[in-house]
Amino acid sequence: MFTGIITDIGKVRKIEHRGDTWMEIETAYDTTTIDIGASIACSGVCLTVVDKGEDWFSVDVSAETLSCTSLGDWTEGTRINLERALKVGDELGGHIVTGHVDGVGEVIFCEPEGDSHRIRFTMPEAIARYIAPKGSVTINGTSLTVNEVGMDDQGRHYFGVNIIPHTQEKTTFGEISVGDRVNLEIDILARYVARMNEV
């Protein structure tokens, strides 16, 4: 489990295509405190640490994960949001995040609004019913509040958020632009409320 509060911006240092795709990720984390087999959310995707060094850890990414997330877009040098798994007693500053991506969205609008940035993302129709104004959503591992939802003139479902300067500085949202693909995870509470209403 995670909270959606990013604690480091890592960088993809190496990518090798083996049976699965192997990635080495540079980090500022103290890797002596990271166990082999630990889970780290990498731009919203829960991945397992398979090796580590002084300033890096590595992960194996399956073909299934590549097909269901934006990780296939990553290249050497890509900067990514990182969060270590929640420990019992940690502050829950965002919302409960599993690291299991529900869909991939695309940035369709990004403009300054005061000191913040207003950004709109497309979302797959299958998850549109779970995203509501003032609700929580996880975008590239970051817990954010939804400001708006709608459908554009091309028939695409979208939602919008505001990114404050602190979030721009502490995550990769300071670098995001129109056309970028992002990993989306819906609020787990919304998922179960919707399921209960179906029964």
All domains of the chain in start order, with CATH:
8-84 (2.40.30.20), 103-198 (2.40.30.20)
Considering only residues 138 and 92, tell me which one the structure prediction assigns the higher pLDDT: 138
Structure confidence at residue 16 (pLDDT): 97
- Give the mean model confidence (pLDDT) for residues 42-49: 98
pLDDT tens across 46-56, in order? Answer: 999 999 999 99
Q: How many angstroms separate the Cα of 185 from the Cα of each of 29, 88, 137, 174, 194? A: 24, 22, 6, 20, 15
In this structure, what token pair is assigned to residue 171?
Answer: 């995550």
Considering only residues 192 and 78, tell me which one the structure prediction assigns the higher pLDDT: 78
- Angle in degrees, CA 119, 125, 126, rounded to 5: 120
pLDDT-based confidence at residue 193 (cuts at 50, 70, 90): confident
Pick the closest to residue 70 from 103, 112, 116, 46 (CA basis). 103
Structure confidence at residue 196 (pLDDT): 74
Q: List the alpha helices (DSSP H) in 8-134.
A: 63-68, 125-128
pLDDT over 90, % of the chain:
87
Within a 10 A sphere around the Cβ of 84, how many other Cβ atoms?
18
pLDDT tens across 123-146, in order? Answer: 999 999 999 999 999 999 999 999
State the Cα–Cα distance between residues 10 and 28, nearest whole angstrom: 7
pLDDT tens across 2-31, in order? Answer: 999 999 999 999 999 988 999 999 999 999
pLDDT at 199 over 70: no
What is the pTM (predicted TM-score) of this model?
0.94
Structure confidence at residue 119 (pLDDT): 98
Mean pLDDT of the chain: 94
Structure confidence at residue 45 (pLDDT): 98
